[in-house]
Structure 1
Amino acid sequence: MTTMNTGSQGGTMRAAVYRRFGGPDVVRIEQVPKPSPGTGEVLVKVHATTVSAADYRSRTKDVPKGVKLLSSLTLGFVRPRLRILGMDIAGVVEAVGPGVSAFRPGDEVMAMLGGRFGGHAEYVTVSQDSAITRKPANLSFEDAATVVFGGITARAFLDQATLTASASVLVNGASGAVGSAAVQLAHLAGAHVTAVTSGGNAGLVRSLGADRVIDYTTADFTREADRYDIVVDCVGNVEFGRLEPLIKPGGALLSVIADLAGVVQARSRSRRTGKRITAGNVPFTSEQLAQVARLAGAGLFQPVVDRTFDLSDIADAHRYVDTGRKRGNVVIRVATAPVQRTFVESRSSHTTRRPPA
């Protein structure tokens, strides 16, 4: 993917900028140069985005064991290299660069920016060849933004396995952005879905299609007798030796969050066990995003919104995500004129823990 073009179009924009790693208060609203689209790029006026677990990890550098050095190449070693977070957007194409044929000004779009970030701003440039697709007309920008990060990640990981109507699927961390999407996509494929989450989220994941719920606060799902064709781990809190026995012969483990050992040893573990082990980042495409968008537009894939904040209150959104208790997605409404926010989280009401994807 291309890097964010920061060439000015003769003006500035508001953006949530962080100039050092740390807690939510390192994120400040600043005026920065408005980008202009380069060759093959579109300039999108952002209407909505989300604060995800990936933003938390990038802001704090609280990354899985062993990957801190490698992640620093992207995030920066001492100070942030990419100062505007935000992996997903929904908005309107304002301008197009030379060579763009897939989109034109006025198109309503949704896009996954991935590791290039930049979504927590009023404008961002996106390559027309990246994971960008048209927004269904019946989806609000806020709902569309929630579909992107979790939807495309879950779709990309599930595409690494054989997901059939006869499959049994376990999703660990089923109430997060990726987990809630994985539950829905597996259910829509006809699979039998077991969701691992807290008891308080049982109703949510059942409404999304989970056939069975395991409350991790009262039961250890790795000690149960059931075996699964696919295990989707969105938390990364269980070692491979405890997860592998849960998988049927020829089945798959999809580790959305994995430490360095998990990523490096995925192939050798696959050969040794005869099971498909996928760990760490997987490639995603515009067609995968379009698939999820079509399902959402048809009312088959449910946007899961926990809370909504204005861009000006984005530090509060980070603070809430830091609690590790978000259900689905925390939405950022990006607007030039301030609007009343839906919720402001107390700075002291929760302890901090690492959020699931």
Structure 2
Amino acid sequence: MQAIVQDRYGSPDVLRVEEVGKPTIAGHEVLVRVRAASVNARDWHVMRGDPYLARLVFGLTRPKMRIRGTDFAGVVEAVGENVKRFAPGDEVLGEVEGAFAEYVAAPEDLVARMPSNVTFEQASALPLAANTALMGLRDAARVQPGHKVLINGASGGVGTFAVQMAKVFGAEVTGVCSTRNVDLVGSLGADHVVDYTRADFAKADARYDVVFDLVGNRTLKDMRSVLTAEGALVLSGGGMSEGGSLVGPMGLIVKGQVVSRLARQKVLVLTAKAGRENLEALAELTGSGKITSAIDRTYAFDEAPEAIRHLEVEHARAKVVITM
């Protein structure tokens, strides 16, 4: 099969299409023929090996996993002997390493059935980004009806889902984005949109029960200053950051962990984990029309390097998807 692989860290030029062996499946796994796969900031960070400290996880001198990508949607081709929930022909979505390939092997518990009324492209956009939004708002911040929620980075892959999800939970939502994305964020349901090129939310009078930071470009002091006395700040990795750094957005996360032990306000560091229950919840939300996948651009399979370049250089709005 063909896959998008890399053997060294660097720019999108290190990515290439290569013929590799078709994966074999264990008893608890399914083999999926991939129809679409979405690009995440994580793919950019692994490709670059950035921040450098993360290479302790990614691989010291080159990526441990050669095939890029994690989010996919496709059709089940075969199932392991212990799989009970799926059969060949099922249309599914999931999250596992190695998604930029014609086939992917995934544990049964990291796969869910696709809603019948969404495309493979829309389904592939869900797993990592929408799950991060779900866990940040529902599980970490515990957003309730009537809460005021500010989302910093509202036009990104996670942000576009977070705006919609906060509205599903009954919150009053303020999205922060650039001028070109104001209309997009408003169309997704945000009650208020702050154009950061024209206004600074940290200098305004508004106070929020929850601040969900998806950018990592503001200080903890700035973000805590707009929280209510018992509000919650949720930090989620920082999305894109300047390359070549030692710790990148992890520096802000470490500071957040320290402050969380001392402050009355909650400072919560989000670690989103893939799982069947959340994937099924996302499928239900999408199938019922409560949330939708906002897609910025789609690329053909052999254009995967350009898809990641677009995410890295253009700071793409919403989701970028690779189609097979």
Picking from 90, 100, 103, the partner of 1:107 is 90
d(CA) in 2 for partners of 1:238, 1:195: 15
Given that residues 127 and 274 in structure 2 are in contact (C-alpha distance below 8 angstroms), is that contact kept between their aligned partners in structure 1?
no
| 2:276 equivalent to 1:286 | yes
Picking from 54, 75, 78, the partner of 2:58 is 75
d(CA) in 2 for partners of 1:74, 1:97: 29
Given that residues 257 and 269 in structure 2 are in contact (C-alpha distance below 8 angstroms), is that contact kept between their aligned partners in structure 1?
no
2:11 partner amino acid: G
Picking from 46, 53, 64, the partner of 2:34 is 46
d(CA) in 2 for partners of 1:203, 1:211: 12
3-state SS of paired residue (1:272): coil
Q: How many residues align?
A: 313
Deviations 1:157-187 (A, max 9, x none): 1121121111000001100100011000001
1:152 partner amino acid: N
d(CA) in 1 for partners of 2:50, 2:205: 33
3-state SS of paired residue (2:98): coil
3-state SS of paired residue (2:297): strand
d(CA) in 2 for partners of 1:203, 1:171: 15
Deviations 1:203-224 (A, max 9, x none): 1111101011111111221111
Picking from 211, 226, 233, the partner of 2:213 is 233
3-state SS of paired residue (2:121): helix
The equivalent of 1:319 in structure 2 is: 309
Given that residues 5 and 67 in structure 2 are in contact (C-alpha distance below 8 angstroms), is that contact kept between their aligned partners in structure 1?
yes
Gaps of 5+ in 1: 1-12, 335-357
Deviations 1:190-211 (A, max 9, x none): 1000000011111111110101
d(CA) in 1 for partners of 2:109, 2:285: 22
Given that residues 199 and 217 in structure 1 are in contact (C-alpha distance below 8 angstroms), is that contact kept between their aligned partners in structure 2?
yes
Given that residues 156 and 284 in structure 1 are in contact (C-alpha distance below 8 angstroms), is that contact kept between their aligned partners in structure 2?
no
The equivalent of 2:243 in structure 1 is: none
Where in structure 2 are the equivalents of 1:110-189 lying within 5 Å? 110-113=93-96, 117-130=97-110, 132-158=111-137, 159-189=139-169
Identity of aligned residues (%): 41
- CA apart distance, 1:286: 1.8
Deviations 1:103-130 (A, max 9, x none): 12111111122xxx21100111111123
CA shift in 2, pair 1:269/1:284, >3 Å: farther
Given that residues 149 and 177 in structure 1 are in contact (C-alpha distance below 8 angstroms), is that contact kept between their aligned partners in structure 2?
no
- CA apart distance, 1:73: 2.6
**More displaced, 73-82 or 44-53?**
73-82
Picking from 93, 105, 126, the partner of 2:76 is 93
| 2:250 equivalent to 1:260 | yes
- CA apart distance, 1:285: 2.6
TM-score, structure 2 normalization? 0.92
Across the aligned residues of Structure 1 and Structure 2, the Cα RMSD in angstroms comes to 1.5
Gaps of 5+ in 2: 239-248
d(CA) in 1 for partners of 2:182, 2:7: 39
3-state SS of paired residue (1:164): coil
CA shift in 2, pair 1:318/1:38, >3 Å: same
The equivalent of 2:246 in structure 1 is: none
3-state SS of paired residue (2:190): coil
The equivalent of 2:183 in structure 1 is: 203
**More displaced, 300-309 or 316-325?**
316-325
d(CA) in 1 for partners of 2:125, 2:250: 28
The equivalent of 2:195 in structure 1 is: 215
The equivalent of 1:308 in structure 2 is: 298
- CA apart distance, 1:265: 4.5
